[in-house]
Structure 1
């Protein structure tokens, strides 16, 4: 009997069109392009929140960030939030190993240097482990982008050391069932990579698109504050010249290629999943990095799945979400999908491109990081996208609606447009229902009573008047009904 193996490869801050098979814009990622030819490339895949830790919660916990406590960097997972590693181990499905950036500890960016529950301590290797291998002088160098121009060897980088361990694991576990995560920090800052990658894009400019000409007129106030003086720039003179991130982007493709080669030789029947946690603005909408917005620049991510017996060189064009990955992996290992999961398995999409995965993709934002005041603070946002229109509700700012077919670069905000008011209100109802169903701790009447929602119900203190309890019955006793002290019958019910 063939072993059941999954190799999950993840990068950081790699937007969808930084991968050649998506962008075709001159950026080189030959190994990921090869993987796409061997499996299914998802044309419209989205993160749950465009920040590192919350995005990882959506992937490895199977809940939206607001459901499990990880609604910002440095916000610890809830104590009763169980990771995919725990669920696979506790169901005796396979061995579980995590090599690379974790960022779910709720604290230090680099991690704690020790394996969380559910992951094999023998193979654990996070960014703190990497730094502890370096001298103090090397640590300082490892955090400076200019170090890449000093001619560093491959083995100085975090990505190379992650790959070495992943290849070793794949070779040693050849005949065993396992779930292996290979999680790179690259191409995230500080963009460390050796030559020839460090200077590969010195003469390259990323192609501009209509989003680079958006000065945020008619857009949310908090985005205008965020952009600051960049709104006054001359977009014609703008160059998207980033040899640091683009060189690191191609470099990490090289490292991924080493993992894929080991898989072909030692795990030919493994299911391989590749994605990134979120994107990067690259100067679109006068913004940098990522943060409190739902633009495709930062929420639209690459996703490729190669499955034994599945489709090859195929493109799935409907929207999908990171929230569906945990249930997909559970189903692949033959396990029941927990009630607590917020997504649904997308395994059928690897064999049937006509399979309808979901009607809506949901995204959110709470804040960038608990520790830092430099990213705008608390900016609660909830978003729904149906494959045509995207509605973004910014609780403390102004809202957005985009026609993604007519305006794929999201330059024209239609939130007050009479012609699309019915579509906007329909999506708003869907969004409110999702917030209620997922027990969003920030839900309440203020999300409904938006200035443009003419038929909003009058605000009341009890809002919907419902109770919505948690179903985590694989790990907790069934919760009790406050009214009678007996086990609850329905998790959502009028109170």
Structure 2
């Protein structure tokens, strides 16, 4: 059987509220919408963390950032952590990554150095793009192209943009004659629609008079919400008034522009490639846009930043929608199943193409960025999402429970509502079990002792993580024996002493 190819496309800061087929808003995402019409659209897909590097760590290692290392921006995964590229390269795939990486522990732009599991001839992160620009052009890109007048005065067209140059390389990769001899995995990773929102002037002209209606979310008083949400709102005031209208032409224009770039790459697939290529599209997280009086992203679990688009188009197409919650963590295991690659035991996710039974997914937050504290420093948060409810544990402040079906705007915090105690406690137990299962290093009995659960007893999470010898899972030797651990339990240790 011929092994399939994979075209994995991702954007930055593009939650479901910015994609037409999800939001119903008049935003031009025609190429993504067409992909959804031809593929499987996941309506409850969640990032593993609403911050760039931790989200990417989950996507490309298949394990949560709390396990792989980069639980905040500007921290790299551990050297013993395997990535999507390694798994597929070891399986005989030609692996190619083009675009934003943000996983090397360096600054936002990266080092320009290609990791060994990817094809260095096509590697093109932010540092590589910067190397092609003059100092004047770098200044323009980062801070000088904020209006129609700026774009016109500097004669900016699509060829100047990082996105266009990423697409060029992706098209070139697809059209190489040797591409038919070996299955490929190509990741195309755009920075857009993230700041600095660079795009040709015609896109910006379209959105000068467009206002995004946030509705009731813009009027959330945060009265029954965690204290750190109110502090965040005070420190970084929302630009949206009580009319609920968010105006950001640059963001909307760049969202439109990156959709066209995505279309260029998808349309470049040859008929032969199309017949054997799975196309996957997603994003790392969203942008609050003034919803709940918050901007940017950070220590919150609102759908505005955690519910991300996910569309998977099979080679022959298959139009359907899936409401079962799924996660970034599930993408690597799903792709491995399609490619016939054995899944290492360290990967907690599952094959979401076969996900039809009730399930929950976890979202985590620990810190926004190691370099500064403007987003509140260390604020550990764990969230459990099912098809009907969302539970949020804010370890240092107060917790949240939302009815996803009856309160999609997440305005009514039910954490202390007596009628939801059973649901809340069931969700709580499931989250604690999952944290223990994945050996979350931030697990502590304080997660179990919440003020709304009076009967709770301190829960000591104490087992070592099982370390199977599968060639990928990091090997840890037991302190007493010097041998690889096989899931030694605290109870066994206690018996020795």
**Band the TM-score falls in, shorter-chain normalisation:** over 0.9
Q: Look up the SS of the partner of 1:380 in the other structure.
A: strand
- Distance across 2 between alignment mates of 1:190 and 1:486: 51
1:228 to 2:225 alignment: no
Q: Look up the SS of the partner of 1:77 in the other structure.
A: coil
Query: For residues 129-168 of structure 1, what are the structure 2 equivalents within 5 Å?
Result: 129-144=128-143, 146-147=145-146, 149=148, 150-151=151-152, 152-168=156-172
1:178 to 2:175 alignment: no
Shifted more, 483-492 versus 250-259: the winner is 483-492
The Cα shift of 1:475 comes to 3.5
- Distance across 2 between alignment mates of 1:478 and 1:147: 50
* Residue 232 to residue 125, structure 1, CA distance change in 2 (3 Å): closer
1:446-483 Cα deviation digits (max 9, x unpaired): 11111112112147xxx244333444631468544444
Aligned match of 1:200: 206
Query: For residues 89-488 of structure 1, what are the structure 2 equivalents within 5 Å?
Result: 89-92=89-92, 94-144=93-143, 146-147=145-146, 149=148, 150-151=151-152, 152-172=156-176, 173-175=178-180, 176-228=182-234, 235-265=241-271, 267-269=273-275, 270-312=277-319, 314-348=320-354, 355-356=356-357, 359-458=359-458, 463-471=460-468, 473-475=470-472, 479-488=476-485
- Distance across 2 between alignment mates of 1:316 and 1:491: 38
Query: Conserved in 2, the CA contact under 8 Å of 1:99 and 1:162?
Result: yes
Give me the TM-score of the superposition, normalised by structure 2.
0.93
1:22 to 2:22 alignment: yes
* Residue 120 to residue 483, structure 1, CA distance change in 2 (3 Å): same
- Distance across 1 between alignment mates of 2:81 and 2:488: 18
- Distance across 2 between alignment mates of 1:255 and 1:214: 36
Q: Look up the SS of the partner of 1:301 in the other structure.
A: coil
Shifted more, 469-478 versus 298-307: the winner is 469-478
- Distance across 2 between alignment mates of 1:136 and 1:468: 49
- Distance across 1 between alignment mates of 2:469 and 2:139: 43
Aligned match of 1:75: 75
RMSD (Å) for aligned C-alpha atoms: 2.0
- Distance across 1 between alignment mates of 2:401 and 2:430: 14
* Residue 458 to residue 18, structure 1, CA distance change in 2 (3 Å): closer
The Cα shift of 1:396 comes to 1.2
Query: Conserved in 2, the CA contact under 8 Å of 1:467 and 1:491?
Result: yes
1:241-275 Cα deviation digits (max 9, x unpaired): 11110000001001111001101556212110000
Q: Look up the SS of the partner of 1:379 in the other structure.
A: strand
Give me the TM-score of the superposition, normalised by structure 1.
0.93
Shifted more, 172-181 versus 35-44: the winner is 172-181
Query: Conserved in 2, the CA contact under 8 Å of 1:141 and 1:147?
Result: no
- Distance across 1 between alignment mates of 2:158 and 2:194: 17
Total equivalences in the alignment: 484
- Distance across 2 between alignment mates of 1:440 and 1:41: 30
* Residue 32 to residue 458, structure 1, CA distance change in 2 (3 Å): closer
1:177-226 Cα deviation digits (max 9, x unpaired): 10000000000001100021022111111122221111211100000000
* Residue 232 to residue 326, structure 1, CA distance change in 2 (3 Å): closer
- Distance across 2 between alignment mates of 1:223 and 1:290: 11
1:312-365 Cα deviation digits (max 9, x unpaired): 3x211221111100011111211101111120122336xxxxx33x51011000
Aligned match of 1:352: none
Shifted more, 265-274 versus 135-144: the winner is 265-274
- Distance across 2 between alignment mates of 1:480 and 1:20: 50
The Cα shift of 1:89 comes to 1.1
Query: Conserved in 1, the CA contact under 8 Å of 2:286 and 2:305?
Result: yes
- Distance across 2 between alignment mates of 1:171 and 1:492: 53
* Residue 458 to residue 274, structure 1, CA distance change in 2 (3 Å): closer
